[in-house]
Chains A and B, each alone.
Chain A
């Protein structure tokens, strides 16, 4: 194959594949900045992916599918928020509970409501006028589908919200010193409800991006742990939106290279190739951990002590 084509292919799918990582990890960033560790991301993604796919498949309307993913993600977030904020559950454990629930539930619904693997026609590629026509760059960055654009726009948006708005200030304060925020009349519970539900919605969208924009199918456990990598990316990105972007791109490019190696029949066992992103997770985390301090109140339930 023409090496130029290969390079453009690798880069194009690298950008594409960053999409679910970005939605999920940006959502997780909001949660963690407010002091909540959500390990249920993968479960939320699976349910979001199923909801989006099922609704899109049955109604033929992708936007309704997206709406379904948002609603399901929000409901999962709401449940998570109740358990985390009101019941003050140990977050590391309750998150795994939510993951298992999402995994099992999406599988059950899939068997009951679909039974077999179906496909939908996902969001089409939208070429951005002018930019899409630039050689190389246009193909890589500006001939993608709408959910890919959405994921990349989310990064500056998240940065802006966290650093430039009063809401972002409250989120950061609640994650560092909830007592101080509380003493100034900031409702720790309300902020955490907000970030957890937002995280749920974005996880739902991450799932939808896989099932109706990138792969356009739904399969049992189709995320295969991607949500956990998203959690790791938040650490990798040092709780900053741009850092998360860098991490997401790193992983999606490794993934893309791995896929292209299989396409081109590079003689490596496919199991090894598939393992690459996960090995990379571990190496990168080991190398980057302790570079930046996590939010001080991360995983700590807040209780005024009265």
Chain B
């Protein structure tokens, strides 16, 4: 073995990895259909496809989480078997999952150390682990506190922990399942710097994303999957962004849209000097005041972890309000319980939909009526109206194109994007007076994103007051009538659509008053 075969981390390079004829069947679903796929050292290979196309499944096979029904894997030309993540890790394969694989009640260092041998034998060596975390964090510019508990971290910060976890294990080949879905544009840029560095060091990367510009920007090759089968592989240099979109969806996709002019109605949601704390009992939202009007989409832009989630939870009654008021039209709902807030037709699409928005072990139909399972037409005199629930969910499955074998499928087994669609469908379809939508298109494919945007605009047209919390500046600028910016829990200002530029918003997000 020569020095050239080694990565800076000391691990052996993976010159090539090849998956041949991979087929994976689930009850009622052919998730992977005879797929060939390969990655080389020093390249980024993108995996692209609609929600439910089988991207995550293929990668879970490679990581040893799923046993393929058929197919073989070759590493540097030699056939290997991967029966478990332990096998994968020992072959130098790492994975960052679409849904975080973090233990919330443990600290960052404990999560990183989990499953690894310790330098102190059977005792944990968390101080050493923390040191190395800080080292890696420093090299790659990932700000992280090794002693923080995961439950205290924002989604963006949790993502950083996942990255550190993989880097720490010194993987030679890294599977990145939608790693950028939860990052702000700035964070994505930073993440790409890390990726480029890893590629230059000789790592091989598999990159899954629904954002075509990211794929165009960072990848060398792209493979498209549709309904579990491979459509083809191309060099990025040989294809344009719109060709890529059309190739993937199989039709023309429009990527920009005009906002129809609507008279702004009366205020539906009024926040007056709202304040609340985060889990660490530190102020998270400070003296926050704004109005969202009927027939308007107010974009709330900000870097993840700056009080957006706490603000949304305070409005919806999920978090104790320390000061100020929340008005729904002229009703004071400051200290109203969450259930009643719902009954007053306020809808909430939480950012962490897997945790706060649905119940994994319930069927899709049950999840579709979670909010209104106890009121007509879904329940009468204490009985569930199963027929109505069934019709309602079939209708939403069709409208939102949820890819599932049936409405009786457990929601937890759906693909990432399809889980999102279930929550979106439930919250949007009840025609709320106010809709709070956090990262509404995170993890959705190009076609589904287009559909959700249409739905939000349709709701706007019908007079709903929408507060859209998003880190995606393109999305915020495309859909919002006005854009409010939050930084460290404070309102930095509100910009009219016409006056908004990415530079200006970016500065405000960084805490500068403009």
Contact = CB atoms under 8 A, between A and B. Distances in A.
A-B complex is real: yes
Interface of A: 164-170, 172-173, 176-177, 179-187, 296, 304-306
Given A180-B101, A183-B95, A164 B85 contact: no
A101 B269 CA distance: 61
22 contacts: A165-B122, A165-B123, A165-B124, A166-B116, A166-B117, A169-B106, A169-B110, A173-B106, A180-B102, A181-B114, A182-B65, A183-B85, A183-B97, A184-B115, A184-B116, A184-B165, A185-B84, A185-B85, A185-B89, A305-B413, A306-B60, A306-B67
B118 interface: yes
A170 B122 contact: no
Q: Which of B89, B117, B123 has most A Cβ within 10 Å? A: B123
A273 B123 CA distance: 46
B65 A184 contact: no
A183 B106 CA distance: 16
B122 A169 contact: no
Given A169-B114, A184-B115, A185-B85, A177 B104 contact: yes
B172 to A, nearest CB: 16
A135 B67 CA distance: 67
B113 interface: yes
A126 B269 CA distance: 73
Interface in B47-98: 60, 63, 65-67, 84-86, 89, 95, 97
B6 to A, nearest CB: 22
A179 to B, nearest CB: 6
A164 B100 CA distance: 25
A176 B100 CA distance: 14
Interface in B106-137: 106, 110-111, 113-118, 122-124
A181 B124 contact: no
A179 B124 contact: no
Nearest to A183: B101
Q: Which of B86, B104, B105 has most A Cβ within 10 Å? A: B105
B103 interface: yes
A165 B60 CA distance: 30
Nearest to B125: A166
B104 to A, nearest CB: 7
Given A164-B123, A165-B123, A167-B122, A176 B104 contact: yes
Given A179-B101, A183-B97, A185-B85, 6 more contacts: A169-B114, A170-B114, A173-B110, A180-B101, A183-B65, A306-B65
Contacts of B104: 176-177, 296
A181 B103 contact: yes
Contacts of A168: 124
B101 A177 contact: yes
A164 B124 CA distance: 6
Given A164-B123, A306-B65, A185 B115 contact: yes
A184 B90 CA distance: 11
Contacts of A176: 103-106
A113 to B, nearest CB: 40
Contacts of B63: 183
Binding site secondary structure of chain A: helix
B498 to A, nearest CB: 46
Interface string B403-444: 000000000010000000000000000000000000000000
A306 B84 CA distance: 12
A184 B124 contact: no
Given A165-B122, A169-B114, A185 B101 contact: no
Contacts of B66: 304-306
A277 B331 CA distance: 51
Given A176-B104, A177-B102, A186 B114 contact: yes
Contacts of A187: 86
Contacts of B111: 173, 180
Contacts of B116: 166, 184
A180 B162 CA distance: 11
B122 A166 contact: yes
A173 B123 CA distance: 16
A173 B118 CA distance: 16
A169 B97 contact: no
Contacts of A296: 104-105
Contact of A304 (B65, B89, B102): B65
A306 to B, nearest CB: 4
Q: Which of A166, A167, A181 has most B Cβ within 10 Å? A: A166
Nearest to A297: B103
Given A180-B102, A305-B413, A166 B113 contact: yes
Nearest to B165: A184
A173 B150 CA distance: 12
Q: Lowest 5 A-B CB distances belong to which pairs?
A: A185-B86, A184-B115, A180-B101, A306-B66, A183-B101
B297 to A, nearest CB: 36
A173 B101 contact: no
Nearest to A304: B65
Contacts of A186: 114-115
Contacts of B110: 169, 173
Nearest to B89: A185
Contacts of B89: 184-185
Nearest to B121: A166
Q: Which of B65, B86, B103 has most A Cβ within 10 Å? A: B103
A180 B67 contact: no
A165 B106 CA distance: 14
A169 B101 contact: no
Nearest to B112: A184
Contact of B103 (A164, A165, A177): A177
Contacts of A304: 65-66
Contacts of B95: 183
Contacts of A177: 101-104
